[in-house]
Structure 1
Amino acid sequence: MAVRRKWWMAAVLIGLVVSGALAWHWTSLSARARLGTAYGARIGCSCRYVEGRAMGSCQQDKEPGMAMVRLTDLPEEKAVKASVPLIASRTARFRPGWGCLLDPAG
């Protein structure tokens, strides 16, 4: 029983440390997530709807460090949505004559 209590206390302590670190760095993390999703949506949309490539090959165009950015093809809208779960998301849409444009942030 004492061993179980020690593991429980260790898990709580680790959770508090991780939560504190997230809170401490939240401004930087959310700014990077917003930047990464805007870049990912724009590059993914250009890959898919300007170059005409398959969405699977567009995943390879992401820069190093963008592993958390998920790209989703929205073919009925000719758009690509990029997201970092629970933090940020942006969408870029193809406009003939203009290329891919980001939707307004918000």
Structure 2
Amino acid sequence: MKRFDVCPASGPGVVGGGRLVVLLQHEHLSQLSNVVVAPLFAQGELEAIDRLRPVVVVDAHPYVVAVDLLAALPARQIGSPVANLESARYDLINALDFLFAGF
């Protein structure tokens, strides 16, 4: 799995019991048993917040990335990638910076 891959996730610790997540952890850390992810919510299901919850498009559908709901999930709970959000890299990194550094 690569950074910014969008994958289905299920099991304990997953918001709503199962949903798409975006991997935010760099692939150089793939030897770790957990992966840092942020859940995706269908637009309208969760409010987008400027800089903190960017809107992305996956398979022609808009989703809100809830960076403020980060989780570390066991890698075994993460399914195969269905998309990659490298094109939203700036917005995702900006959201992480805003969450942790306030700017």
More strand by share: 2
Q: Which has the larger radius of gyration?
A: 1
Q: With CA pairs under 8 Å and 6+ residues apart, which has the higher RCO, 1 or 2?
A: 2
More helix by share: 1
TM-score by length of 1: 0.24
